[in-house]
Amino acid sequence: MTPEIGHFALVMALCLALIQAILPLWGSERGSLSLMAVARPAAYGQFVFLTISYLALTWAFVNHDFSVLYVANNSNSALPLMYLISGVWGSHEGSMLLWVFIMGGWTMMVALFSHSLPETTVARVLSVLGMLSVGLILFILFTSNPFERLIPAAVDGADLNPLLQDPGMAFHPPVLYMGYVGLSVPFAFAIAALIGGRLDSAWARWSRPWTITAWMFLTLGITLGSWWAYYELGWGGWWFWDPVENASFMPWLTGTALIHSLAVTEKRGLFRGWTVLLAIIAFSLSLLGTFLVRSGVLTSVHAFATDPTRGLFILAFLGIVIGGSLILYAWRMQTLRAVGEFKPLSRETLLLLNNVLLVTAAASILIGTIYPLIIDALGKGKISVGPPYFNSIFIPLMIPLFLLVGIGPLVRWREESAGKLWRDTHNILIAFIIVFAASAFLLMRSASITVLIGLFAAIWMVVFSLGYLGKRLSNRRGLAAFKGVSASVYGMVIAHIGLAVTVIGVTFSSAYSLDHDIRMGPGDEKELAGFVFRFESISQREGPNYVANVALFRVMKEGKTLVTMTPEKRIYNVRRNMMTEAAIDTKLTRDLYISLGNPPEEGDKWAVRLYYKPFISWIWGGGVIMALGGLLSVLDRRYRVAARKRAGMKTAHNVKSISVNPA
Amino acid sequence: MKRVIFALPLFLFLALVVLFMVGLEHDPRLIPSPFIGKPAPPLSLPRLIKDDQMLSRDDLIGEVMLVNFWATWCPTCKGEHAVLMEIADTNEVAIYGIDYKDDQIAATAWLERLGNPYRAVGFDKEGNAAIDWGVYGTPETFVLDKDGIIRYKHVGAISWQDWKETLEPLVKQLQEE
Amino acid sequence: MAGLERDPGALGQTITGRMKQITGILFIFLVFFLNAFVYAEDQRFPFKDPEQAEQFRKLTKELRCLVCQNQSLADSDAPLAHDLRKKVFLMMKEGKTSDEIIQELVARYGEFVLYRPRLSKQTWLLWFAPVIVFIIGVFVITYLVRRRSGTSDIGERELETAHKLLEEEE
């Protein structure tokens, strides 16, 4: 019965989404307050039904209802509770439901936190979000219904893909989806602004906190995914330029560009046409990511559901959403009058350059990802575009960007003179030179050109960010100085430092990693980077739904035991496939990583990979710091104060904007 | 000018859509062989059954034939084997086999038990011949013409339908050349 | 493609027909070729010097493991990748250069085996597109700066006042 309730709730959600998509928009065109007032209740109702639907599927998982096809395919009675809950998004149908559920959540948040906005804007934004929901729910109902029954019911389930039976993977998709879907909010704001024909700094100000929030989740999601790949796939890599990774990275890059360009539009009213296009592109790339993964157009490590009919549906959906927005864009932009001036040396010019670099990077990744498809479609054969291509394009683009990250915030809005800039920054430059020279000297023995470049970029970003913060703080004295600086300034500085931390991690771990790839049995020892790895013993352990061979390693340095590590090789009972559980010992400046190969066919010598990876955890640490920076920015009281102020004038504003906008 | 610039994103997107529509029809995992139209690569393998004799490229010249890479450890090959037997029964084309990274005793027993559709089988214990032929998994089947030129490659198991619709017409056409 | 089997190693673990039906070939790609690896060559390749070892490392990073679909030869532990690594090593021992080895592998498996596509009539756009996009971007900035520096119009002043008002409000 529960699955039917879930299915029914989904249909109800569809109805409410339809209402939410149509009535408020109609109302905003006719200037009818009562029609526009439908938007919020519809959004709340939609979310309630989506929650019911989502919980119904979770219920089916938790209660081992193997009469539901999706549950039978992706669960098992021996599965621990945590994976029963995360199993909901363990495959295609459920992850689409999660997607829509999250979409409903964002919609509700917009409905809740938009009381300071003009009713017409709210109506249009919620209507656009409603349209997106309609498309996605239809997609689920027609091509990927997770509530489909299996008659007769299976005795037991085929188990969740063991790759996904891991805490990191359990949380990766929801967080990433929060980011993907969150980009629909700035998208909806952009479309609403285009419909209303008003692109102004108010629009940019409303979009900004939403964009930053979505970006924050996207950052965390990508970080989690990379970390998961690192410890779960078992060969120590953390980024593969895989199509699915690229699919999450492109929205991140354009989202980052959007955050910066929104700043210009808000502060100076410039680049409005560009900013609105970026908002469309960032969300389009999220959708495109879904398309690339779900349709089977690109085969990928992660693509666990591929099906051309679904692909065709998504393609149609993409065509309507993206094509429609771009038509609206092309049409509305005709009447946009460029306002404002800007000078060669100014914050806004540098931010525009930042946008060019980020968008070029995103475009290159898009081209690299679909190029094999182009060649194939033209019947010119099959080619591969892999990490060597992406690295050689991406890295040169990032280096000037890193320089901008450091210097940009110190450059004044409107107009900067070289002389003033020099006066403002020469102390920081000297500090940078000292720090860089000292660290380069410390690393002299082993520094290669790439290490020096990475180090240069990271130190540059840190020293200049701190220098900038110092300047802001020096306006006042004592504690008041810290309070005098807004949260968004701290947020920016922290996010930029986070980027530097990631750069350090990437640079050092790729330059100084060491590994051994050998056969070892109990009693064997192997030295790596000054650590002695001693294979003590091997034993069997029974988990809830797997049997594991557990190796015990003692790691010693200078004769003293540092740590014992237990890499595992698991065989999951149902699917009978083997999984590597690497053992990782993380310290601030290095990881030790051991993973086991297949059990030996004869004898007791296991294939073992030993890795020493300096600073690798900084890669993800930097990601978390960046996300924290985003969080701080969103908490800036500017957004709240402005919100409260405007809430007071709300009624007056409404009437005004309606009368101004009869079209 | 302005009109064109702001419509540019739309045009780029439309191009992308067309591309994906074409892309949906392609199987991204099918990789064409670069050998099509080229002479079969060198081959020098002991025979599976009479292992004092060799199977070499010269044996593959003179008539139209199928060269099938298979192995006993490959379940798909078992399904394909029945189809190969039917094809062999039609006597329309010679089938040569290359047993890929297999156990000689198991492979011999397999042919005794399930029947032997092959004119001769090369025993590729190390998988070197497969690498030379650009094979990346079993089963794969090459169609060679009378001059020993590779004309077609079928990836995956051959079904009776594949034979009727693709391979048989091709074989007939090559035999008439 | 469905039903295409790989190497002996992968078949060590047989799977039930039902499961296979449900999860399909992709699952096999996912699990067998990424995770159930037999790593470590039985005897490590005896390189004659560190340069050769480095050359081998570099080369195998740039070649695609054909059966894994998204892994380099160096990272992969699929049996075919193992065989191909051996082949690469043997070719190196014969004194072949990286280019010659690449040429030989392309002759067998096509351009698909290369992770770094070679510059050709078909791939020039791939390699130059980033440069083109970047140049267009820089060109647009220059154009805008030229055209719009020093032309303070009414919109600008209006905006200025609006901003001042907003700031005061806060």
pLDDT digits (tens, 9 = 90+) for C38-60: 333 434 577 777 788 888 888 88
| Contact call for A299 and B23, based on CB within 8 A | no
Give the confidence band of A16 by pLDDT, cuts at 50, 70, 90.
very high
Residues B110 and B119: their CA atoms lie apart, in Å, by 15
Per-residue model confidence (pLDDT) at position B95: 93
Residue of C nearest to B155 (CA): C1
Specify if B123 maps to a domain.
yes
pLDDT number for residue C161: 59
Q: 């980033």: which residue's tokens?
A: C130
CB within 8 A of A85, min separation 6: which ones? A58, A61, A62, A170
What CATH number is given to the structural domain containing B45? 3.40.30.10
Q: Hey, of A322, A359, A369, which one would you mutate to test binding to chain B, going by the most B CBs within 10 A of its CB?
A: A322
Confidence of residue C79 (pLDDT cuts 50, 70, 90): confident
Q: Is residue C2 part of a domain?
A: no
Give the pLDDT confidence of A140-165 residue by residue, as tens digits: 998 889 998 888 888 888 888 887 88
Kindly calculate the radius of gyration of chain C based on its CA atoms and give it in whole angstroms.
27
Within a domain: residue B8?
Answer: no
pLDDT of the residue at A404: 94
Indicate if C90 and C146 belong to the same structural domain.
no
User: Does residue C60 share a domain with residue C41?
Assistant: yes
**Would you state the torsion angle of the CA atoms of residues A15, A17, A22, A23, taken in this order, to the nearest 10 degrees?**
80
CATH number at residue C65: 1.10.8.640
ipTM of the complex: 0.85
pLDDT at C157: 52
Q: How many domains does chain B have?
A: 1
Torsion of Cα atoms, C12 then C18 then C21 then C25, to 10°: -20
Q: What is the Cα–Cα distance from A204 to A645, expressed in whole angstroms?
A: 17
Please indicate, yes or no, whether residues C108 and C128 belong to a single structural domain of this protein.
Answer: no
Regarding whether C75 and C17 lie in a shared domain, the answer is yes
Same-domain check for residues C52 and C87: yes
Helix orientation angle between A167-182 and A201-232, rounded to the nearest 10 degrees: 160
CA distance A500 to A495: 9
Mean pLDDT of A170-186: 91
Q: B145 lies in which domain range?
A: 35-176
| pLDDT tens figures, B54-110 | 888 888 888 999 999 999 888 888 889 999 999 999 888 999 999 988 888 889 998
Confidence at residue C138, expressed as pLDDT on a 0 to 100 scale: 92
Q: Does residue B79 fall inside a structural domain?
A: yes
Is C3 part of any domain? no
- Tell me which chain B residue has its CA closest to the CA of residue A374: B19
Same domain, C51 and C106: yes
Looking at the fold, whether C58 and C137 belong to one and the same domain comes out as no
Tokens of A270: 């410039």
Mean pLDDT, residues C80-109 taken together? 87
Average pLDDT over residues A344-359: 92
C92/C128 same-domain check: no
Supply B43's token pair. Answer: 């081959």
Q: Once rounded to an integer, what is the mean pLDDT over residues A124-129?
A: 95
Neighbours of A587 (CB within 10 A): 11
Q: Is the Cβ pair C26, A306 closer than 8 Å? A: yes
Cβ-based neighbour number of residue C139 at 10 Å: 11
* pLDDT, position A461: 96
What is the model's pLDDT at position C27?
Answer: 35
Phi, psi values for residue A515, rounded to 5°: -150, 160
* Residues C145 and C108 placed together within one structural domain of the fold: no
Check if C154 contacts B (Cβ < 8 Å). Answer: no
Q: Specify the higher pLDDT residue, C135 or A309.
A: C135
Q: What is the pLDDT of residue A169?
A: 79
Please report the pLDDT score of residue A657 as a whole number.
36
C131 and C55 together in one domain: no
Asked if A110 and A191 touch (Cβ cutoff 8 Å), the reply is: no
What residues make up the domain containing C159?
A: 124-169
CA distance A416 to A412: 6
Q: Is residue B107 part of a domain?
A: yes
H/E element, A219: helix A201-232
Q: Which residue of B has its CA nearest to A315?
A: B17
Nearest to B23 among A277, A373, A381 (CB): A373
Q: Strand pairing of B65-70 and B94-100?
A: parallel
Cis? peptide before A152, omega within 30° of 0: yes
pLDDT score for C154: 46
pLDDT, residue A232, reads 81
Tell whether B13 lies on the interface with A, counting CB pairs under 8 A: yes
Of C68, C91, C113, the residue at which a domain comes to its end is: C113
**Cα–Cα distance, B32 to A383 (Å, whole number):** 10
Touching chains, B (3+ CB pairs < 8 A): A, C
In a domain, B18, yes or no: no
C50 and C98 part of one domain: yes
Q: Is residue B74 part of a domain?
A: yes
